[in-house]
Structure 1
Amino acid sequence: MTVEETLPFADWLRLREAADAAARAEDLVDVLRPRLTGDGPTLIHDLGSGTGSMSRWLAARLPGPQHWVLHDRDADLLSRAADAMAGVTAADGAPVTVSTRHGDLTRLTAEDLADGALITASALLDMLTAEEVERVVDACAAAGRPTLFAISVTGQVRLTPADPLDPVIEAAFNDHQRRTVDGRRLLGPDAADATAAAFARRGVPVRQRPSPWRLGPEQADLAVEWFRGWLGAACAQRPELADRVGPYARRRLADAAAGRLGVLVEHRDLLAHG
């Protein structure tokens, strides 16, 4: 596989699931638990659910019966996510049920979310535009429910051992994350700050926590795939880099495959609640 080749999206989501789970800020879940007590199952809306990693992770950390509503624009991913929730139980063994809603989550309204006790998302915000973040935050804030957004990239990466090309690739990758796609200018690494600011303008306090990936020898497969995507996106953004990165790429990929490369990818988790 060359640097430019990447896994199918569903396979990439599966590969990163363990790293996401290890990175998410557990103390924000501790803040949530007392706010979710009530009669009947706790209803939770998960936005951009992908293959369901957020719902599987959080359901097992919350007590009591739960019903998860998974939202995504990809019908195939929704089907996979629902299937993967089979057998998942709450922290105390209570049942967890699931339903799916196919559509554009950036068009959801407060009325769509108001029946829930909690709104969640993971690895979503950086793929949105400033306008889309405003719409999502507006719906969540108006619904008046706690909202947990996990694993939002910040653009900061540290590889060990260090190489002079690392910051060059990082800058090009971050520019790629902010690219315009079909008329949509993505927020990329600016998304977490934009989201926190949007909640603040609506008078909703936000707690923020770091949630970094720390990839070592045990995560060599993920480190290899992440590096391919990171470098490939940087070269797509700045094609002139392609002539400079050959030896760099071969060395980094060999080190990653052998478990000699350390990778720190910074993310941030946000909990907005009144």
Structure 2
Amino acid sequence: MTDVILVSADWLTLREDADARSRSRRLARAAARHVRGPIVVHDLGSGTGSMMRWLAPFLPGPQTWVLHDWNRDLLTVAVNDPGRDAASRPVSIVTSVEHVEHLRPEHLAGASLVTASALLDVLTRDEVESLVAACVETGAPTLLSLSVIGRIGIEPADPGDRVFEAAFNDHQRRTEDGRALLGPGGVAAAVEAFRRAGWVTRVAGSAWRLGAADVGLVAEWLEGWVSAAVEQRPALLEWGEEYLVTRRRQLAAGVLRVNVHHADLLACPP
């Protein structure tokens, strides 16, 4: 469910409220202290624009958001639902259609701030290095939110939790079409690259904390989480089916709680 290639508008819409609750407001406020209006924000892998709608109210205006995504349909959704700045004025939107893994410094020309959400874990080390190099060359503070870090907490506990967590993490680190994805190591790789460039980094937790009010999201996340684990380790198929039956019953009874741990990263020039 976190694969940037397979992501759908429905999935992004389903997770938007949980994303908004989870992102670090402390880092957002810190990022805001580094910019002055009018500002230009480049949002990488922007999807339907949820990062824009969440972050724009923290920032002064006027604002122009440059939304980068390979999927024109997702960008169309974003354009039709713009964010609003700290003074409740709608932001201006420019779209740029390209794959984020092909990002070059010239794509970020004029940026006051660079952002991304749920991105680092689906990149390779070389792609993270290129992203960091582009941000450093631009000189714009960079806020990268909601990267998966490989830890899940589920209540009530089940013996399968750690097994499926490990298999899912291996799936996140898989090699696909010659690309060795970083998965849970994405944040650490980005921190290391920014620090080598002399930038100051801050990391904050941004876990989804899901319960009875998030039935639709939990159901979709569970299906995707177990499916990815089984894809990585086919021997888990029968156990995965039994595990899902148990978890669906608990979800229907309103007793299932899920914490999906992420991290937010803010990197700023020295």
**Alignment map for 1:156-235 (pairs within 5 Å):** 156-235=151-230
Q: 1:155 to 1:8 in 2, by over 3 A?
A: closer
Q: Pick from 246, 257, 261: which aligns with 2:256?
A: 261
* 2:45 paired residue number: 48
* 1:83 paired residue number: 80
Partners of 2:42 and 2:113 within 8 A in 1:
yes
CA distance in 1, matches of 2:218, 2:64: 34
**How does the TM-score come out when normalised to structure 1?**
0.93
Is 2:31 the partner of 1:32? yes
Is 2:68 the partner of 1:68? no
* 1:4 paired residue number: none
Q: 1:156 to 1:8 in 2, by over 3 A?
A: closer
* 2:15 paired residue number: 16
| 3-state SS of paired residue (2:148) | strand
CA distance in 2, matches of 1:105, 1:237: 25
| 3-state SS of paired residue (2:264) | strand
CA distance in 1, matches of 2:14, 2:96: 24
| 3-state SS of paired residue (2:134) | helix
Counterpart amino acid of residue 24 in structure 2: A
CA distance in 1, matches of 2:47, 2:252: 27
- The alpha-carbon deviation at position 34 of structure 1 amounts to 2.2
Q: Pick from 56, 59, 82: which aligns with 1:59?
A: 56
**How does the TM-score come out when normalised to structure 2?**
0.94
Q: 1:8 to 1:94 in 2, by over 3 A?
A: closer
Residues 11-33 of structure 1: CA deviation (Å, up to 9, x unaligned): 11110011100000001111122
| 3-state SS of paired residue (1:232) | helix
Residues 139-164 of structure 1: CA deviation (Å, up to 9, x unaligned): 00111110000000001001001011
Q: Pick from 100, 103, 112: which aligns with 1:108?
A: 103
| 3-state SS of paired residue (1:35) | coil
- The alpha-carbon deviation at position 192 of structure 1 amounts to 0.7
Counterpart amino acid of residue 113 in structure 1: L
- Gaps in structure 1 of 5+ consecutive residues: 1-6
- The alpha-carbon deviation at position 214 of structure 1 amounts to 0.2
| 3-state SS of paired residue (1:36) | coil
Indicate the RMSD between aligned Cα atoms, in angstroms: 1.4
Size of the aligned set, in residue pairs, is: 264
Counterpart amino acid of residue 156 in structure 1: R
Partners of 2:210 and 2:218 within 8 A in 1:
yes
Partners of 1:25 and 1:210 within 8 A in 2:
yes
- The alpha-carbon deviation at position 8 of structure 1 amounts to 6.7
Counterpart amino acid of residue 269 in structure 1: D
Partners of 2:113 and 2:142 within 8 A in 1:
yes
* 2:3 paired residue number: none
Identity %: 50
